[in-house]
Amino acid sequence: METIVIEGQNGNSTIIVDERIEEVAKYLPKKKLFIITDKNVENHYATVFPEAPFFSINPGEASKQLGYIESIYRWLLENNAHRNSFILGIGGGVVCDIAGFVASTYMRGVEFGFVSTSLLSQVDASVGGKNGVDLDGYKNIIGTINQPRFVLCDPRLLKTLPHEELVNGFAEMVKHALISDVKLFEHLEYDCNDLLQLNQRILSSHIAESIRIKARVVTADERESGIRKLLNFGHTWGHAVETLTGISHGKAVSIGMEFACRLSMKKGLISNREYLRVINLLQSFGLPTCMNIEPNKVFNVLEKDKKRNANSIDFVLLRGIGVPKIETMDFEELKKFVQNNNDET
Ligand code: NAD
Ligand code: ZN
């Protein structure tokens, strides 16, 4: 078991890796408890939930709508939740985002924690204190930055996670290695098969490593004014691909990472060999590195990115595996690159 601490402006968050869900009661304060979960997680694990009333959302992003979340506030009110209650989210990134948002806003904020049940949520969504919900198709447009008191990551729970969802998490793990640690990248190359087979010891160690990277970045820059931007590696192009095609987040980010590496290679920042190593690792995890879509169409979506500047956009590139570089890319230059490099992304 390992613990990693994030020091946030509104308090610390302790992430506990390789602890069993059955032990969660140890981490709960002596407060009235309310659980938020989703129907899949409920079906698999309700028998090991701590004793408390729970609200089970329909699984998936559609439940992250601000309108839907009103029903959770009403449920809390009807069940006499008060300022001194504690909200526990048990689920993937959707549940953690909702639970964190509801807890941060109900009665101006009650304490909360997570049992993170998907790989993406263990290594990414439940780490860092961002709690966002969607409005009118805009993802995470309403939200708070507020750290959970604790996050429990039990890798055994991943045995019931659909493979497609597991792969989404691997994309973020590769991203964390690429932006900060060549040794970890080598370990991923070496351990890829064991990770895909859910070898619990190796999985735990990689989850902890990956969380440590995100925790370090977030502790240095909780509000994304500087180095937190590095976490956008692969996401700038990836989000545009996701919006355009509706493919899963991890797959889109994988395509985005290929794009960022190709751009880095074109700029002479990384070698062809390094580029191919990244592609190989992504493909070994079953992630796509190209897709049959018109790159110009992706570019048109990218131009509408909410994080753009007037005539440019900040791109995270690589100067080497594990060595990121934020580069402000002029839209004109980017357009030329997109048009001159392959017909499909
Ligand atoms: P998710 O919560 O929808 O979970 C994916 C699917 O797996 C769901 O159907 C869920 O019911 C199921 N599931 C979860 N755990 C399971 C388990 N142990 N066994 C069986 N089924 C299980 O999606 P996700 O990929 O975990 O998270 C994506 C969400 O996270 C998005 O809404 C995204 O915006 C958000 N996110 C937030 C942050 C942040 O910093 N707050 C960062 C990244 C992503
Ligand atoms: Zn992501």
Overall average pLDDT of the 283-300 stretch: 94
- 137 — pLDDT class (breaks 50, 70, 90): confident
Q: Would you state the pLDDT for residue 211?
A: 97
Percent of the chain residues topping a pLDDT of 70: 99
Q: Catalogue the E-assigned strands of 46-147.
A: 54-57, 86-91, 111-116, 130-135, 138-145
Q: Would you state the pLDDT for residue 290?
A: 92
Atom of ligand 1 nearest to the CA of 130: 41
Residues 6+ apart with CB under 8 A from 128: 6, 214, 215, 218, 222
Is 345's pLDDT higher than 60?
no
Which one of the ligands is nearest to 232 CA? 2
User: How far is C-alpha 251 from the chain's CA centre?
Assistant: 13
* Tens of pLDDT, residues 165-174: 999 999 999 9
Structural domains for the chain: 2-160 (3.40.50.1970), 168-198+216-344 (1.20.1090.10)
How far is the C-alpha of 342 from the C-alpha of 284, rounded, in Å?
Answer: 23
Q: Would you state the pLDDT for residue 214?
A: 95
The CA radius of gyration of the chain, in Å to the nearest whole number, is: 20
CB of 121 shorter than 6 A to ligand 1: yes
Q: Would you state the pLDDT for residue 225?
A: 75
- The model's pTM is 0.96
Which one of the ligands is nearest to 143 CA? 1
CB of 91 shorter than 6 A to ligand 1: yes
Is 30's pLDDT higher than 60?
yes
